[in-house]
Amino acid sequence: MAARQRSDDDYDVLLKVVLIGDSGVGKTNCLSRFCRNEFQTNSKPTIGVEFATKQLTIDGDLVKCQIWDTAGQERYRAITNAYYRGAVGALLVYDVTRQKTFESIPRWLSELREHASADMVVMLVGNKTDLKDQREVAVEAGQEIAQREGLLFIETSALEGSNVDEAFSRVATEIHSIIRKRRL
């Protein structure tokens, strides 16, 4: 018998999580690593919002994470309100080998404050830790800004697959626990 496709009604919780950060930091590859366990070395040709989903079980609840990727729109500063609408979590990604992408964090945070809900769970993600010889941003610098701005923090390598699942899972778990408390 063919397996029945799940509908949104089958899930206890649906979460929209957005990826933001400068172009080339590895947002698309974090998404494809988490949702499909894939890594792409070539840069993507398409422009436009894309999303992928992944199912998690958190505290016995079936949670569907819908993860949105800018797919290049950030290059043109063209991320719209619709991108952030309904999002309960964000991964703000920078590239640990490019200081410039780290310096963009305040701009991304102010964009979040302008468009996103105030209680959104935000995680700062320093990606490309595999490029050890090219590191320009110390782990302590990431920790410091995360602490100051009240963000979760992690460093990842989408290439090696290190900490990528943890990044998304921690954000989803944090959101889930906030939703649970509200239900009580």
Interface contacts to ligand GDP, rule CB under 6 A: 23-29, 40-41, 43-44, 127-128, 130-131, 157-159
Q: Which of 25, 124 has the CB closer to ligand GDP?
A: 25
* CA 94 – CA 108 distance, rounded (Å): 10
Burial class (CB in 10 A: 0-12, 13-18, 19+), 123: buried
Least distance in Å: CB of 77 to ligand GDP?
14
Q: Which of 63, 155 has the CB closer to ligand GDP?
A: 155
Contact 49, 70 (CB under 8 A): yes
Angle, CA 20 vertex, CA 15 and CA 21 arms, to 5°: 160
Q: Which of 36, 44 has the CB closer to ligand GDP?
A: 44
Q: Which of 7, 41 has the CB closer to ligand GDP?
A: 41
Query: In residues, how long is the chain?
Result: 184
* CA 152 – CA 67 distance, rounded (Å): 17
Least distance in Å: CB of 42 to ligand GDP?
7
Q: Which of 27, 54 has the CB closer to ligand GDP?
A: 27
Contact 152, 121 (CB under 8 A): yes
CB atoms within 10 A of CB 137: 21
Least distance in Å: CB of 156 to ligand GDP?
7
Least distance in Å: CB of 28 to ligand GDP?
3
Least distance in Å: CB of 81 to ligand GDP?
21
